[in-house]
A and B are shown apart, each in its own frame.
Chain A
Amino acid sequence: MKRITGIFVAAVMIIGIMVVGGCGGGGAKPQEQAAKKETVKVGVILPLTGSEAMFGAMEKNSMEMAYEELKAAGKTTVGGKEIELKFEDDQSKQDAAKAAAEKLINQDKVAMLSGGYSSANTNVIAGTAQSKGIPFLIVTGSADEITKQGWQWIFRGTAAPASKYTGALWDLMDKVIKPKSVALIYENTDFGTSSAKGFRKVCQDKGINIVFDQAYEKGAIDFKPMLANMKKTNPDVVFAVSYVMDASLITKQMKELDFNTKLFIGGAAGYTMPEFKENAGDASEYVASTTLWIPNVAWKGAADYFKKYKEKYGKEPDYHGAQAYATMYIIADALGRAKDFTPEGIRQALKSTDLMTIMGPIKFEDWEGYTNQDKPTTYVVQWQKGKLEVVWPEEAASAKLVFPVPNWKERK
């Protein structure tokens, strides 16, 4: 009995592995049929299923849209080869991200990697890419430390480090707002904790009094206890780093509590998405936020991208989609300039990127401890009459900042 058991087990394990390995090999066949031309493969790891699938889908669609545009312009043929995007699903989970990275690098033999939505998954992919010496161009993952390790193979262009989202905001704070007290709330995720850390440090450096500082678990139903507590401390300004649904609930419940501040500022992510306005309704009015991009930003092609995406997919894209779109352009540009398609060749081409995209100029530089990190262009936006307007910096502004914002009761 034991013998049968043992042999059975061994057989199951071996068959299982062969199937997986074989499947990978089997996967090669469709490629041979599809591409008569030789291809340069770019592996893109995104959350196509799982809790983050909404963003994964948006980014995939944006990249494909950009790819079509580039193809029409003849830019997808580089050095006699055709760029080919190969998407892999990381299921919004780390282990799957690692498996996807391993598969793309070893099985599909991609020339470079891209993608990376959540910071946790981006961490894992970056670690894998760095140890294998394959270039990885990050689309969204924002945790500071990913580009603070001195890892030469990791590039981050369209995404800013979490603590740097507030560049334009601090300019505005210094020049206009000059708060005496701030309240800080943030979600308990990598992005939230990183952003809060950065914000807290700058406040401390500038001697601004932080009267309330709390993390919360995302997905809560009732924020009123926390908000009521915050209301007591009477902050001039509230800075919140939240995911879109928490953002809607927080602002709605602040209205319900009649909790007034001079300005409510979101730390990117949730407060700029169209879903925020839909769900928060008129509580979203006058809410400001830091952001890397909005549809009516001044860069060429931004408004066209927004319109085209909305027509094609029936949904409004936000900065995540713009990031993916711009990243596709960066990839095509770098591959076009690469002297060869070895990892080193692509790495050098990426390093020397100097490209204007719908997110602004992209250059990979080493600064403040970051490696291969683009210096982000950030904005402060504010919802006015149901539209997101750029209010800072003044050169890029499409409307004037409303500050201090009117109390809830004073609004109609």
Chain B
Amino acid sequence: MSLFGQTVICGILLGGMYALIAIGMTLIMGVMKIINLAHGALVMVGMYITYVCYKSWGLDPYLGMLIAMPALFLIGCLIQKYMINRLVEVDSILPENQVLLTVGIMLVLTEVARLIFKSDYRSVTTGYSSSTFFVGDMSISVPMTVGFFIAMAFTYLLHLFLTRTDLGRSIRATAQDRNAAVYMGVNAPRVTVITFGIGSALAAAGGSLLLPLFYLWPDIGHLFTAKAFIITILGGMGSTMGAIFGGLTLGIAESLGATYISMGYKDVVGLVIFLFVLLFIPGGFKSLTKR
């Protein structure tokens, strides 16, 4: 029984942090309808900034995160404004151009990181990196728990932002129907720029929370991009609650898969659920709750 409990708890905690990374992507996908393959690379950049803060100034990652987030916000805005927005205006045969542009951006970000930091693995070991506390027989990692709660806090803040502020509502309007939003006076290009910025900042936050637990190298982005997609689809594009749900589902599914099937196939579990949702519940969790 405690094996099951252990598995589920690990899944929930990790899933919560994945969710924070995915929230950025679901926002971006909801508003701009583009598949952002560079999302993982943005997480990676955020993690490196936090890492540098730790190495140079001894800043704890939870504090370094507060520096990485604005930095990524800025980078995200710049990318959207000068690169992706250009493509939106252009007429092309296949709209998937934008996706390929994000691939190019991903390559550039990854390689620049590699040039600066080399392919070496970096990690941040803080005093609490390995602390655990026990609930009965189950071992719960302190950084995972802290990360989980911070992730939930950010999600809640985002939710407040989207529902209570004007800007947030503009973002949701643009996500629902871009043209209608423009008619209502929303400055769509500006909204997309800000959304991309916020999405990137949240990605940086999610990555930084993982830094005490995991390690860092330039290619880490790919891992996060894949998870973020799955969560975005599970939850429904553009839905923050959906992202939480998606993250938790993915985390638990992977954990259960690792324990009861095999660690090698754990990613297959996530992918199969992903396909299932894609095919049968295309709106994700969000569409289920709207009924």
Indicate yes or no for A touching B, C-beta below 8 A. Answer: yes
Could you tell me which A residues sit within 8 Å of B by CB distance? 49-54, 57, 185, 188, 214-217, 219-226, 228-229, 232, 244-245, 248-249, 252, 255-258, 275, 278-279, 281, 283
Give Cα A9 to B119, complex, Å: 38
* A-B residue pairs in contact (CB < 8 Å), sample of 22: A51-B217, A53-B118, A54-B118, A54-B119, A185-B263, A214-B262, A216-B258, A217-B266, A221-B14, A221-B210, A221-B213, A223-B263, A225-B6, A225-B7, A225-B10, A225-B11, A225-B258, A225-B263, A225-B266, A228-B7, A256-B130, A283-B130
Q: What is the 8 Å Cβ interface bit string for chain B, positions 255-274, against chain A (1 contact, 0 not)?
A: 11011001110110000000
Nearest Cβ distance between residue A67 and chain B, in whole angstroms? 22
Answer yes or no: B55 CB below 8 A from chain A CBs.
no
Q: Which residues of B contact A258 (CB under 8 A)?
A: 134, 139
Answer yes or no: B123 CB below 8 A from chain A CBs.
yes
| A57-B3 contact, Cβ under 8 Å, with A256-B130, A281-B130 | no
The reply to whether A232 and B3 contact each other, CB–CB distance below 8 Å, is yes
Give Cα A217 to B258, complex, Å: 11
Q: Which residues of A contact B120 (CB under 8 A)?
A: 54
Is the interface on chain B under 10, 10 to 19, 20 to 34, or 35 or more residues?
35 or more
Nearest Cβ distance between residue A257 and chain B, in whole angstroms? 5
| A57-B118 contact, Cβ under 8 Å, with A188-B264, A221-B210, A222-B14 | yes
Nearest Cβ distance between residue A221 and chain B, in whole angstroms? 5
A217-B267, A228-B3 known, 15 other contacts, Cβ within 8 Å: A214-B262, A216-B264, A217-B266, A220-B266, A221-B214, A222-B10, A222-B254, A223-B263, A225-B11, A225-B259, A226-B263, A244-B121, A249-B214, A257-B139, A279-B123
Nearest Cβ distance between residue B266 and chain A, in whole angstroms? 7
Nearest Cβ distance between residue B22 and chain A, in whole angstroms? 15
The reply to whether B6 and A215 contact each other, CB–CB distance below 8 Å, is no
Nearest Cβ distance between residue B111 and chain A, in whole angstroms? 8
Could you tell me which B residues sit within 8 Å of A by CB distance? 3, 6-7, 10-11, 14, 114, 118-121, 123, 125, 129-130, 132, 134, 139, 141, 210, 213-215, 217, 219, 223, 254-256, 258-259, 262-264, 266-267
9 tightest A-B CB contacts, nearest first: A216-B263, A225-B258, A225-B259, A53-B119, A215-B264, A226-B263, A256-B132, A257-B139, A225-B255
Give Cα A141 to B284, complex, Å: 45
B9 (CB) vs chain A CBs: closest residue? A224
Q: Which residues of B contact A215 (CB under 8 A)?
A: 262-264
